[in-house]
Amino acid sequence: MSSLQKFNSTLEDFDKEITKLKSVGEVFNEIRALAASYETVIGSIAQSNAALENVLQQHLTFQDNVKDKIREMAAQQALYKTDLQQLLESKIADLREQQKKFEKVLTEEVEQLRKENKQFYRDLEETLRIKLSEHKSEIKKFVTTATESATTQVVKALEAHTAAIRQQQQKILLAVLLTGGVLIGAVVFVIYRLLQ
């Protein structure tokens, strides 16, 4: 082979090598572009992770706030329940006290009526003995009228006291029911507002 052919062969080898080097350069450029692209993706992922971390932190804060509100509501509900229970116990104690007073007044009035009736009957008996022979028919009418009058007075007094106590009991029951309704409404409203 001549020098020229060798030179030609060498040039062809150089051309092949240059083509290979160009291909390697293009691959290298593509690798650089991919690396830059990966860097961008990694940056986006880091930003997304930071945003997700922020959202998670906000969610945890919100969850803690909800738990605190639930605890506050439970404490408030317990307080309302205690207050309502104390109010009911107080009203029941008042009713029992009024009932005892009524029973005492009723007993005293009945006892007073018994004493008055005993005295009346003693006086009447004496008068009747004296006037029995003179006014027998008039005496019978008088005794009947007096007994009916005393009985009517006792019945009226009992009915008046019973009516007064029933009215007081109805007022107290209405107040307790209204207070309970308002408290339940307030608790439902607070729960509703918290759940929104």
* Nearest of 67, 176, 181, 60 to residue 75 by alpha carbon: 67
Domain ranges of the chain: 3-195
How does pLDDT run across 38-73, given as a tens digit for each residue? 888 888 888 888 888 898 899 889 889 988 998 988
* pLDDT score for 13: 76
pTM for this structure? 0.34
At 2 the three-state DSSP class reads: coil
* pLDDT score for 10: 77
pLDDT at 1 over 60: no
Q: Which two tokens stand for residue 106?
A: 């009723």
Reported as a pLDDT band with limits 50, 70 and 90, residue 139 is: low
**177/152 Cα distance (integer angstroms):** 37
Residue appearing with tokens 């009035």: 109
